[in-house]
Structure 1
Amino acid sequence: MDSTEVRPVTALVVGASGATGQLLVRQLLERGANVRTIVRSPEGLPQDFHNHERLTITQASLLELSDGEMSEQVRDCDAVASCLGHNLSFKGVYGHPRRLVTDATRRLCNAVRANGPQGPVRFVLMNTAGNSNRDIPERVSFAQRCLVGLIRVLLPPHPDNERAADFLRTEVGRRHACIEWSVVRPDSLIDEDKVSEYDVRTSPTRSAIFDPGKTSRINVGHFMAELITNEQLWRQWEGQMPVLYNREPLRQSS
């Protein structure tokens, strides 16, 4: 190998069969990355994924993997990305596993640590703008705080997202020898065909409940792929919880 040649990034993507996860996988492949996925139903992936030379598909239920199998999945990975979420059905919201995102985040991080990588592995977690970053003073109205408290009781996926982000903030922290992390917080997710202009903010600029913005899934996939492959962007957002909004077109004055 020529000394100037850049080694392709190797990334594990969990939640790859979901609407956003598929887009992230495609974005990474377009950047020349080697991608691994763990999915329960490979038939849910796009047909062209199955024959891609840089994509490895493992059929399994993530949380049913043994610790050894989990460690093998993350071995030699430069990054791990989670697009896991709960299905918007009664069983998906109230059934098991209640702490899918949290348990997966913890086990994947433990697997990275067990391998003792030579350099830090990037962990990119897709979360939600409705989850506040408790490392910084984010402005949240009293009404929103009350409603979020109710949501925590009534909708288990929300506290699952909170706990997963809190695990990275408090248990992994910012000076871990094996893991660096970033928690990506899109607002209301929408479907669009192409990547469009979007804004990345340190904190929400609008209420996720009373005045939500919009974030296209393909923009989330684009930003997460950039975090994994772009060193400068990673250094800007490592250890933070960036919020994504689609950029709204300027209104012309009449």
Structure 2
Amino acid sequence: MKALVLGATGGCGAPCLLRLLERGVEVTVIVRSADRLPAAAKGHTKLKVVVAPEGHLALRVDEFAAHLRGADAVVSSLGHNLTFKGVYFPPRMLCVDSVRLICDAARQLAPSTPLRLVVVSTEGVDRPDGADPKRGLLERLLLSVLWLLLPPVGDNEAVLPYLHTEASANPHVDFVAVRPSDMVDGDERPYSVFATLQNGIFNAGQSTRANVGAFMADLVTKTEVWTKWRNDCPQLLDDTKKAA
């Protein structure tokens, strides 16, 4: 099996990368610098590192497609750096523009089996089918204010609607958009995955980044997990009571 990973140096992408390599997946990563890759991945025989100093969004679709060719899956665990530059300077639409680039490249390659696209989404976005519990007025107002003031919020929230539309129009891509709650660092711990949101931003749960990475790796490598959540947007939450 082959996979392309974007965001492989991040808190969710790095553990996902390591689990994919442990399972014998041939992984290509596109990074600005190889120095920040996890130590256990450096020099791995199954890993191909593509260094793009200006970022993958600087690549043309055909250039990106060349790195995607032959892959069965793509993992995008991208996110904005929580600095003034990271929040307010380009690339302001990093997440959704990356998903768009992946989908355009998939159209160009036209694989016989749809590409498995796994992305990190946000609990700030609702299921397109309306199955999530209705948010309260204050929560909706706060999300609107955050959307206006913080470009990364709008970027993250745009990914799922784009994928929902694209999945029905692009026969070469299927997706799973993982919606964690408040993310924290730490080792893997028990977690559960739910079809609908279990909490809002005022009563947020907890999602360990290593758990998110592990679940994304399962989506890539385990057919039963992929089949269950294909073209869906599950929420992942740590089982804090079990861990205690």
TM over 0.5: yes
Cα distance in 1, alignment partners of residues 144 and 96 from structure 2: 19
1:147 equivalent in structure 2: 142
SS at match of 2:123: coil
Match of 1:123, SS state, is: strand
**What is the RMSD of the two structures over their aligned residues, measured on CA atoms?**
1.5
- How far the C-alpha of 1:91 sits from its partner, in A, is 0.5
In structure 2, the residue corresponding to 1:76 is in which secondary structure? coil
Structure number with larger C-alpha Rg: 1
State percent identity of aligned pairs. Answer: 37
Could you tell me how far 1:251 is from its partner in structure 2? 11
List aligned pairs for 1:1-254, cutoff 5 A.
9-60=1-52, 61-138=55-132, 139-173=134-168, 176-193=170-187, 195-207=188-200, 209-249=201-241
Report SS of the residue matched to 2:178. Answer: strand
**CA distance in 2: counterparts of 1:119 and 1:159, whole angstroms:** 31
CA distance in 1 between partners of 2:183 and 2:149 (Å)? 21
After the TM superposition, list the runs of 4 or more consecutive aligned residues in structure 1 that deviate by more than 6 angstroms.
none
Deviations 1:29-48 (A, max 9, x none): 11111111000011111233
**Superposed CA offset, 1:24-68 (max 9, x none):** 100111111111100001111123322100011100010011222
Distance 1:100 1:118 in 2: 28
Aligned equivalents of 1:146 and 1:199: distance in 2?
Answer: 29
Paired residues, number: 241
| Conserved? CA contact 2:190–2:243, under 8 Å | no
Structure 2 length-normalised TM:
0.95
Q: What is the CA distance between 1:250 and its match in structure 2?
A: 5.8
Counterparts of 2:170 and 2:88 in 1: how far apart (Å)?
Answer: 34
Q: Given residue 41 of structure 2, which amino acid in structure 1 is its aligned partner?
A: F
Rounded to whole Å, the distance in 2 between the matches of 1:135 and 1:25 is 31
Offset at residue 135 of structure 1 (A): 2.1
Cα distance change on mapping 1:51 and 1:189 into 2, 3 Å: same
Say which SS state the counterpart of residue 86 (structure 2) adopts. helix
* Contact 2:12–2:212 (CA under 8 A) maintained in structure 1: yes
Q: Distance in 2 between matches of 1:233 and 1:30?
A: 18
TM-score (normalizing by structure 1): 0.91
Q: Which moved more, 1:126-135 or 1:20-29?
A: 126-135
Assess, with a 3 A threshold, how the Cα gap between structure 1 residues 184 and 251 changes in structure 2: closer, same or farther.
Answer: closer
Gaps of 5+ in 1: 1-8
Between the aligned partners of 2:243 and 2:189, the Cα distance in structure 1 is: 17
Call closer, same or farther: CA 1:177–1:203 in 2, change over 3 Å.
same
- Determine helix, strand or coil for the equivalent of 1:132: coil
